[in-house]
Structure 1
Amino acid sequence: MNAFQPSRPPLQPIQTHRVTPRPKRRLRQRSYQVMALETIAKIGVNLVISGAAISALIQLLPYHWSQQDKLRAIRIDVKQMEERVYQLQTEFSRNFDPRQANMIRQEQGYRFDPNQRQVVFQKDMTEIEQAQSN
């Protein structure tokens, strides 16, 4: 039972595949052509993508410039409004300051404190004479 059994001969003879040697020069030449075509295709696709990107930028530049002009105008308006708000805030705080109430009344009503003397500016007589002589 555990004896060696005679080996069977293979049913079909093993055929050796004959490899015909290809000329290596022709294979290299073909691979160079494939690489050249692939490189040309890559360059072409990159040129198309670059052209599309450049045309998109050219179309967007005028829009960008107009937006920058609008932004500049808005910044100028904001600066003017900030100055006006600052002036109004100082005026508001001054108007509601109880220490300056008398001064504001004098400015708006042209009334003066009875203890205050009124100053009136007049031209000197020499200036009047010189103006008349000319």
Structure 2
Amino acid sequence: MNALKTPPQVVEATPNRRVSHRRPRKRSQTHPSRQPQAKKATSHRTAALEATTKIAVNTLISVVAVSALAHLLPYQRQGYQQLQEMQGYLEKQESEVETLRSQFQRSFAPSATKRVMQEQTYLQDPQRRRILFKEGNQSNHRFSTEPFSQSPQ
């Protein structure tokens, strides 16, 4: 039992002071069962109040988040519809670009020069003959093979 006791503190003496041997004071410790009931009830109330406050704040934050999402949903739907419209327009424009690209390539192809010239101007190939139907009997059609440069009669 003496081994558990702390040795007394020794303070060196100064010429004007007295040396004192003090023992550390024991703190009074009260057993939890000996605490008054009012302290227990107060600590339980504060814990309950703290938990209730946390739940209320978290509920408030959740309500605000759900409300914000509800306000954002129409904008998201509108953006999605605009995206669909733009994708449709893009597909249409891509097909038009492809058509124009093929026409452009055909316009500069050396083998198609005469054909493009005939499509875009009134000029025709001089060796090409025009077929004209003449008025008259339906059963007896005569075909004219006049050169294209002459006007129809």
The answer as to 2:56 corresponding to 1:50 is no
1:83 to 83, 95, 101: 95
Q: Distance between the aligned counterparts of 2:40 and 2:65, measured in 1? A: 37
Query: Does the 8 A contact of 2:107 with 2:116 survive in 1?
Result: yes
Report what 1:66 is aligned to. 78
Report what 1:38 is aligned to. 50
User: Aligned pair count?
Assistant: 114
Q: Distance between the aligned counterparts of 2:24 and 2:104, measured in 1? A: 110
Query: Does the 8 A contact of 2:114 with 2:125 survive in 1?
Result: no
Higher relative contact order (CA 8 A, sep 6+): 2
Q: Distance between the aligned counterparts of 2:88 and 2:65, measured in 1? A: 34
Structure 2 length as normaliser, TM-score? 0.57
SS at match of 1:93: helix
The 1:15/1:92 distance shift into structure 2, 3 A limit, reads closer
Point out the structure with max Rg over C-alpha: 2
Please report how far the alpha carbon of residue 40 of structure 1 lies from its aligned counterpart in structure 2 after TM superposition.
1.9
Report what 2:124 is aligned to. 111
Matched residue type, 1:55 = S
Q: Which structure: greater helix fraction?
A: 1
Report what 2:31 is aligned to. 21
Structure 1, residues 11-52: CA drift from partner, whole Å, max 9, x if none? x67654433334268476655444433322221111111111
Identity, % of aligned pairs? 27
Structure 1, residues 51-101: CA drift from partner, whole Å, max 9, x if none? 111111111111111111122111111111111111111101101111111
Q: Distance between the aligned counterparts of 1:104 and 1:14, measured in 2? A: 116
Structure 1 length as normaliser, TM-score? 0.63
The 1:88/1:14 distance shift into structure 2, 3 A limit, reads closer
Q: Distance between the aligned counterparts of 1:50 and 1:64, measured in 2? A: 21
Q: Distance between the aligned counterparts of 1:46 and 1:14, measured in 2? A: 49
Q: Distance between the aligned counterparts of 1:68 and 1:84, measured in 2? A: 25
Q: Distance between the aligned counterparts of 2:115 and 2:24, measured in 1? A: 124
CA RMSD across the alignment: 3.3
Alignment gaps of 5+ in structure 2: 1-18, 133-137, 140-153
